[in-house]
Amino acid sequence: MFRSLLAIILIPVFFTACSTNNVTVDESLKNYFDSAGIKGCFGLYDNGQGHFTIYNLPRFRDSAYAPGATFDILQSLIAFQTGTLKDDKALLIITDTSIADLAHPGQKTVLRRGVTVTEAFRTISLTNDAVFNRIADSLGKDSVKKWVDSLQYGNKDLNGPDSTWEDYRLKITSDEQLGLVKKLYFDQLPFFKRSHELVRAMMSTEGNSNYNLSYKIGRVSYADGHVLGWVLGWIEENKHPYFFVLNFESSNGPMDVSAVGLQVVKNILRSMGFFNGKK
């Protein structure tokens, strides 16, 4: 296990303890951000070597941002732990769209459809919002607040007027996000082993005989057109996990955060020799 003196003193659940002794700062990774028209930071933790490779260390370590849909990780853990959700196949019925009812002129029919938690978890869409807002309502803000406080998740600020956490006051650093996914992988969060396993299953999205890629994507859209994105998770090769976090932003108008973020992550990992089963 790797810790810095600060981590030992503060004991924050998600702190990853990157320090000058175990970090390689790689500014060449800026090329991948420039090519995508974004700015931000990236961090990779080699668990076997206890070593970080980081681009833009100050932003990675010190700058906190709204978690967007990456908060689904913690919210899902709480829901599985408390029995609010039975498992990752739990079906939630959500309101879809209202259409004119041809059989009854002047009336509308509300279409409803079932979406599993896993299906919602793997998107950043209106479906994701609807499902996880419903989960938040079921958990209750006070309950979520207790978990956020006890885990020292980010700045712990859930005190906005919104009934959930989604008013952008809650913020977390990339360093803390990396600590979260590492502890999730190793069953080190204060949840049942089964809760860890269910969330890991939802994050496991892509792989073959050479690798397995697990991740969660988040997006935050601001009124001025500014967009913030996250991609965090791990890649396994030969049963060896490497944990990563991409945090980025753009002010260039609408952006497919999932496509852009995931492509940048894959380009960086590929440049480091991943995806071939040789790490």
With beta carbons less than 8 A apart as the criterion, state whether 219 and 248 touch: no
Task: State the average pLDDT over residues 92-98.
Answer: 71
* Residue 226 or residue 33, greater confidence: 33
Give pLDDT, residue 96: 66
Sorted by where each starts, the structural domains of the chain and their CATH numbers stand as 5-271 (3.40.710.10)
Going by C-alpha positions, the residue among 194, 82, 68 that lies closest to residue 138 is: 82
Give pLDDT, residue 4: 31
Render pLDDT for 122-166 as a digit per residue (tens, 0 to 9): 998 888 888 898 899 899 988 999 999 999 999 999 886 665 556
Task: State the average pLDDT over residues 2-14.
Answer: 34
pTM: 0.88
- Rounded distance between C-alpha atoms, residue 252 and residue 202, angstroms: 31
Task: State the average pLDDT over residues 61-77.
Answer: 95
- Rounded distance between C-alpha atoms, residue 239 and residue 254, angstroms: 38
Instruction: Inform me whether the pLDDT recorded for 101 exceeds 80.
Output: no
Within 10 A of 192 (CB to CB), how many other CB atoms are there? 13
Burial of 32 from C-beta contacts in 10 A (0-12 / 13-18 / 19+): buried
Give pLDDT, residue 7: 31
pLDDT band with cut points at 50, 70 and 90 for residue 92: confident
142's CB contacts (< 8 A; 6+ apart) are none
Please report, for residues 49, 92, 94, 235, the alpha-carbon distance to residue 239 in angstroms, rounded to integers and kept in the order given. 14, 34, 38, 9
With beta carbons less than 8 A apart as the criterion, state whether 128 and 69 touch: yes
* Residue 125 or residue 9, greater confidence: 125
